[in-house]
Amino acid sequence: MRIVQKFGGTSVGSIERIQAAADIVKAELDKGHEIAVVVSAMSGETNRLLRLANDMNANPPMREVDALVATGEQVTAALLTIALHKLGVPAYSFSGAQAGFRTEGSHSKARIKDVQSKHLIQHMKRGEVPVVTGFQGIDAQGNVTTLGRGGSDTSAVALAIAVQADSCDIYTDVDGIYTTDPRIEPNARKMRNISYEEMLEFASLGAKVLQTRSVELGMRYNMPIHLRSSFDLVEGTRVSKEDSDMERAEISGVAYNRDEAKVTIKGIPDQPGIAAAVFGPVAEADINVDVIVQNIAEDGRTDLTFTVPRNDYQATMDLLEKLRVDMKAREVIGDDTVAKVSIIGVGMRSHTGVAKKMFDVLAQESINIQMITTSEIKVTVVLEEKYLELAVRALHQAFGLDQANPT
Amino acid sequence: MRIVQKFGGTSVGSIERIQAAADIVKAELDKGHEIAVVVSAMSGETNRLLRLANDMNANPPMREVDALVATGEQVTAALLTIALHKLGVPAYSFSGAQAGFRTEGSHSKARIKDVQSKHLIQHMKRGEVPVVTGFQGIDAQGNVTTLGRGGSDTSAVALAIAVQADSCDIYTDVDGIYTTDPRIEPNARKMRNISYEEMLEFASLGAKVLQTRSVELGMRYNMPIHLRSSFDLVEGTRVSKEDSDMERAEISGVAYNRDEAKVTIKGIPDQPGIAAAVFGPVAEADINVDVIVQNIAEDGRTDLTFTVPRNDYQATMDLLEKLRVDMKAREVIGDDTVAKVSIIGVGMRSHTGVAKKMFDVLAQESINIQMITTSEIKVTVVLEEKYLELAVRALHQAFGLDQANPT
């Protein structure tokens, strides 16, 4: 097999962790695999460098910030290579530029245009390990660019595609994706397999173990991603194309997000353009809106309810109060003690009644559903935060997630 | 004027020092000069990175050590560029590779082969400041290389030559070269001008303000070097081709080195090859030999005396004791309380009697001369360390170095 391994910040956070990563590389190499590695900066290093830049200049030029923070991964790549040599493993570090990562788009949020990594394949075929800096590349003018936070996952998947790897193994500080949060439901079980689509839904719900862009890239090129722990060498969760096995389960997991607040602007005169009139200013204020519900109009007036991150609650309320006056709406109310619970599963596509079952389960527990939103493979409800744990456990059990292997 | 400025470790050792360096760049730019800058790593950073490498692997591969430590200058270059932007100065950082520094030779002690810096001239002509990492380049295979300790001075002079600058200004924590050490002789004066040859002699005697390679490079291409302080913006010492003004003074300065020990192997059977038989093993032990004196043979036997760095004294004595047995020599004696005092001056070439005057001055002070060595522009004596300060002050005064401007 040809494998691209990626080690994130905490997995290379110290001399000892880097040595442990080298041990993992050697173990896979000894199994006869061809290995290339992608590394992040040592944990904390990117923030340290950004702090230096901001101490110097509150508004630093992004070209230079990119050149500065790109050194973080270069340090890790060299150190891991040095550790591999100590184990007798021939290895070479490569910066993004040296590895052929060509990018386009603006500094600090560049996109990978292509990866010219043929020379790395030659090394791999000889049993040598290229150790490549994640998160960075070089643009057409030869400037160092970075992909933005979390970009190392994307680098790893892009490199795996470029060298035609069989798998992209992402080593992190968690050992996989669980059917739900084990801190809430002790019977939560690790999923062995999950589809790209499900992974995207889990990621958007705060399972921040894999950057969304990397999953999308893997999905587009059908590159299997193995999410696993560098602290505990057990099988993790494999993210791949939906296969027939996945059909068995109605849902794969229960996700939640506590970081939610709900706001309502009531009694808006119902006319075309009111959504734009509300969400335009909200977007301009850089507030992310999630679930949106517009009530059926009554007496020529309607209500608009939506959720925002809890941190933005007060700013949103202030903004809506201004809009209320301008729009001649009746009232603004809000609640920053709500939470979001979702059931996710590709099985939903071919099974009916999943949403109804969810609502029944919550009703049996006397949990009031405040808002509902659905996608092809997800049903989300907003409820009072105090019911969060109860709802998660009830759904986890009702959908049989604590039984056998659901996927 | 077109100027290449170089800021060393202590001159970029903190956020504040980097801001001060940016102020200096702007001040020269505001005078209408075209400026490019070469920077070292922040003081301590190179050692920190080397420590990480050695913690990982006592024998790290040099390719990776180069890739690792090269990040030190990259951080400084980006930070100085960010500081320049804050002052409204358009600037761009360049790694050694980006600036066109092409090297040959082995990792960690590469030599600059050529500098392809035409693109930097374009920036300078537009009033933009290229900020280039010192100490590093890229080899023909695209590997990052470093020039070895102190290589940033050499980078600066090489860049100055490549962009056809009028001067290479080296900013450091001293404000120039003095006629002698002001801590010993309060009347020591800063030299305004000094020839490359004199600078090389001062440098070899421990005035470690300019790397020898950089002076040799400046001499070869006749690039004026202005050695000055980043802490105190006064004129420093200009190193350039010997000019007619320099003829006036017999000598330019008095240098010394306290870090000396003297060893003698006595009564060696005098036959061809004895010097090789002694210095071969000494060189193999990585001990630097400086002044060497071989006595006239007497009764078919001769004595060999030489100086070594004081740290190597015991190792040298042990080594000589072994050689004594092998060579059937009579005795090994040594003294680690000697010092070296030199008078240096291009004027010496055309003035006779300088050496005699030196010996007279020392004799008047009843200082015994243990060894003598001369070069075209230098006379060196080895003496008891306790006479060091007395000798320096007597020579400084006798040659009129505390009078007017000697150069």
pLDDT in 10s for each residue of chain B, 407 residues: 999 999 988 899 999 999 999 999 999 999 999 999 999 999 999 999 999 999 999 999 999 999 999 999 999 999 999 999 999 999 999 999 999 999 998 898 899 999 999 999 999 999 999 999 999 999 999 999 999 777 899 999 999 999 999 999 999 988 899 999 889 999 999 999 999 998 988 877 665 678 888 999 999 999 999 999 999 889 999 999 976 555 556 788 999 999 899 999 999 988 888 888 899 899 888 888 888 888 877 788 889 999 999 999 999 999 999 999 989 999 999 999 999 999 998 877 666 688 889 999 999 999 999 998 888 888 999 999 999 999 999 999 999 998 755 44
Cα A191 to Cα A178, A228, A232, B339, distances in angstroms:
6, 11, 16, 75
* Domain's final residue, options B154, B173, B192: B173
Least confidently predicted of A239-253, A306-320, B47-61, B147-161: A239-253
**Contact residues, chain A, for B15 at CB < 8 Å:** 52, 55-56
Tell me if B263 sits within 8 A of B316, measured CB to CB: yes
Determine how many CB atoms are found less than 10 A away from the CB of residue B295.
Answer: 14
Locus of tokens 């070594």: B308
Are both A265 and A161 inside the same structural domain?
Answer: no
Are both A156 and A304 inside the same structural domain?
Answer: no
Q: Where are the beta strands (DSSP E) in B71-139?
A: 91-94, 101-104, 111-115, 129-133, 136-138
Tell me if A342 sits within 8 A of A205, measured CB to CB: yes
**Contact residues, chain B, for A53 at CB < 8 Å:** 78-79, 82
Q: What is the pLDDT of residue A293?
A: 85
Contact check, Cβ <8 Å, A81/B64: yes
Tell me if B79 sits within 8 A of B18, measured CB to CB: yes
The 3-state DSSP class for residue B80 equals helix
In this structure, is residue B189 part of a structural domain?
Answer: no
Residue A245's pLDDT band (cuts 50, 70, 90): low
φ, ψ for residue B285, nearest 5 deg:
-80, 10
The 3-state DSSP class for residue A190 equals strand
In this structure, is residue B200 part of a structural domain?
Answer: no
Interface of A with B in 106-165 (CB under 8 A): 142, 144
Q: Where are the beta strands (DSSP E) in B49-97?
A: 91-94
Contact check, Cβ <8 Å, B71/A74: yes
Residue A132 has pLDDT above 90, yes or no: yes
In this structure, is residue B112 part of a structural domain?
Answer: yes
Contact check, Cβ <8 Å, A64/B86: no
In this structure, is residue B141 part of a structural domain?
Answer: yes
Q: What is the CATH number of the domain that holds A120?
A: 3.40.1160.10
Q: What is the CATH number of the domain that holds A384?
A: 3.30.2130.10
Tell me if B224 sits within 8 A of B168, measured CB to CB: yes
Tell me if B70 sits within 8 A of B136, measured CB to CB: yes
Q: What is the pLDDT of residue B341?
A: 94
Cα A364 to Cα A226, A367, A388, B194, distances in angstroms:
38, 8, 15, 93
For the record, the structure tokens of B371 come out as 């060894």
Candidates A57, A123, A138, partner chain B, best to mutate (most B CBs within 10 A): A57
* Domain's final residue, options A173, A199, A220: A173
- Min Cα separation B123/chain A (Å): 14
Domain assignment of residue A372, given as a range: 254-398
Q: How are beta strands A331-344 and A253-269 bridged, if at all? A: antiparallel
**Contact residues, chain B, for A107 at CB < 8 Å:** none
Residue A289 has pLDDT above 60, yes or no: yes
Contact check, Cβ <8 Å, A93/B15: no
pLDDT, averaged across chain A: 91
For the record, the structure tokens of B332 come out as 């090994």
Q: What would the DSSP string read from start to end of A268-293? A: EE--TTHHHHHHHHHHHTTPPP--EE
Are both B32 and B153 inside the same structural domain?
Answer: yes
Are both B30 and B167 inside the same structural domain?
Answer: yes
Amino acid letter, residue A282: V
**Contact residues, chain A, for B77 at CB < 8 Å:** 67
Inter-helix orientation angle B15-30/A45-56, to 10°: 40
Cα A164 to Cα A55, A224, B98, B127, distances in angstroms:
43, 11, 30, 46
Q: In this structure, what DSSP letter does residue B187 have?
A: T
In this structure, is residue A36 part of a structural domain?
Answer: yes
At residue A14's C-alpha, the angle toward residues A8 and A18, to 5°, is 65
In this structure, is residue A180 part of a structural domain?
Answer: no
Residue of B nearest to A131 (CA): B64
Residue A275's pLDDT band (cuts 50, 70, 90): confident
Is the CB of residue B67 less than 8 Å away from at least one CB of chain A? Answer: yes
Determine how many CB atoms are found less than 10 A away from the CB of residue A232.
Answer: 10
Residue of A nearest to B58 (CA): A86
d(CA A158, CA A165): 10
B267: left (phi over 0), alpha (psi -120 to 50) or beta: left
The secondary element (H helix, E strand) that includes residue A388 is helix A388-398
Q: In this structure, what DSSP letter does residue B11 have?
A: G
Residue A247 has pLDDT above 60, yes or no: no
Segment A19-48 shows an average pLDDT of 96
For the record, the structure tokens of A368 come out as 């009031």
The secondary element (H helix, E strand) that includes residue A193 is strand A193-195
Q: What is the pLDDT of residue A407?
A: 44
Contact check, Cβ <8 Å, B98/A71: no
In this structure, is residue B282 part of a structural domain?
Answer: yes
The residues, ordered by sequence, that sit 6+ positions from A202 with a Cβ below 8 Å of its Cβ are: A177, A194, A253, A255, A344
In this structure, is residue B227 part of a structural domain?
Answer: no
Is the CB of residue A53 less than 8 Å away from at least one CB of chain B? Answer: yes
Are both B54 and B165 inside the same structural domain?
Answer: yes
Tell me if B297 sits within 8 A of B270, measured CB to CB: yes
Amino acid letter, residue A355: A
Per the structure, the count of domains in chain A is: 2
For the record, the structure tokens of B185 come out as 């002789």
* Domain's final residue, options B113, B138, B173: B173
Is the CB of residue B38 less than 8 Å away from at least one CB of chain A? Answer: no
Are both B6 and B140 inside the same structural domain?
Answer: yes
